[in-house]
A = this chain, B = another copy of it.
Amino acid sequence: MSHSLYHVLGAKQFDRPTLDELFAASGEMERVVAEGGSNRFANKILTTLFFEASTRTRLSFEAAMHRLGGRVIGTENAAQFSSAIKGETLEDTIRIVSGYSDLIVMRHTEIGAAKQAASVATVPVINAGDGAGEHPTQALLDLYSIRKELGRIDGIRIAMIGDLANGRTVHSLSYMLANYKNVHIDFVAPDNVRIPIDVKRYLVEKGVSYEESTDLTAVAATADVVYQTRIQKERFLSLEEYEKASGKYTIDEALLGVLRPDSIILHPLPRAGEIEPSVDRDPRAAYFRQAQNGLYLRMALIEKCLQ
């Protein structure tokens, strides 16, 4: 990896000063968008290199680049580079694409792919998700949303709910929260998709307080942040088991009655029933504002990489 380039590869690379700087820049970007965009990267090209389709994430990065005056090339069909017929290594693909543009945003199916790409890239690489590995820009926009909504991250109680075994978002967010003081995490998951041991070990090592629970109502009553995630149907052995887990931790109007008035509900989206549509009208439902924050946060990251 070229040490003069700023890559965004994983949650653990971010320390407190970097996060503070990034969130201040994101706030500045809200102003830039409100004023109709900027031309500061008018001659720069972003390549979005998606080895699996993720249109929402791709569009978010592309909009961010355009709002800064930049240009975008890309594909959701990058898997053809390494297809059986063409058989190219990821390194060769990255070496070539590096020559076409000033920044690469990459989504890949395999853990570690972003790091591998950065090791040969001659331009910065932003990891937009690598398999079951990391999705650091999602965790960053989650944190930014908490700070913006609550005014602080230190001292919060956050409940993370859903498939905590397979959800890379909650892993990345847990790692990043270790930068803050007096954070308490309640993990609420069905038995077969509990938070992994290595996340828990990391939290212990960093002195972050956490508990595991199966009682959402009890946990929700004390939470500043309710971080709901999708129960991924395909992970369960039977539809019946899936539906039990899925139905168990739904955020509905009954739960709204339990939540503190100054708390917020976040979700990385898409949702598939685990937050009822009627909840959307509640001012604590912050998940669409959270998605919007992704634009500002990604603009700030692009600026950091291109500076």
Contacts and interface: CB of A to CB of B under 8 A. Distances in A.
Contacts of A53: 77, 80
A76 B81 CA distance: 14
A129 to B, nearest CB: 14
Given A47-B59, A88-B270, A88-B272, A77 B76 contact: yes
B55 A95 contact: no
Oligomeric state, in copies: 3
Q: How large is the interface on A (under 10, 10 to 19, 20 to 34, 35 or more residues)?
A: 35 or more
A67 to B, nearest CB: 7
Contact of A92 (B66, B234, B269): B269
Contacts of A3: none
A99 B62 contact: no
A214 interface: no
Given A88-B271, A270-B81, A62 B56 contact: no
A60 interface: yes
A98 to B, nearest CB: 9
Interface string A70-88: 0111111110110001111
B99 A270 contact: no
Contact of A81 (B55, B66, B74, B81): B55
20 contacts: A36-B43, A45-B63, A45-B66, A55-B75, A56-B93, A56-B96, A59-B74, A63-B100, A76-B77, A81-B270, A85-B233, A87-B270, A87-B272, A88-B271, A89-B277, A92-B271, A93-B270, A95-B291, A96-B292, A99-B291
A167 to B, nearest CB: 14
Task: Name the 10 nearest CB pairs between A and B, nearest first.
Answer: A88-B270, A63-B100, A37-B43, A87-B272, A99-B292, A66-B71, A62-B73, A36-B43, A55-B75, A96-B291
Given A71-B66, A270-B87, A97 B234 contact: no
Contact of A78 (B55, B62, B88): B55
Interface in A132-188: none
Nearest to A288: B95
A282 B225 CA distance: 55
A101 interface: yes
Contacts of A271: 88, 92
A67 B86 CA distance: 28
Nearest to A87: B272
A125 interface: no
Given A81-B270, A92-B269, A272-B87, A72 B75 contact: no
A295 interface: yes
A104 to B, nearest CB: 11
Given A75-B55, A291-B99, A92 B270 contact: yes
Nearest to A233: B85
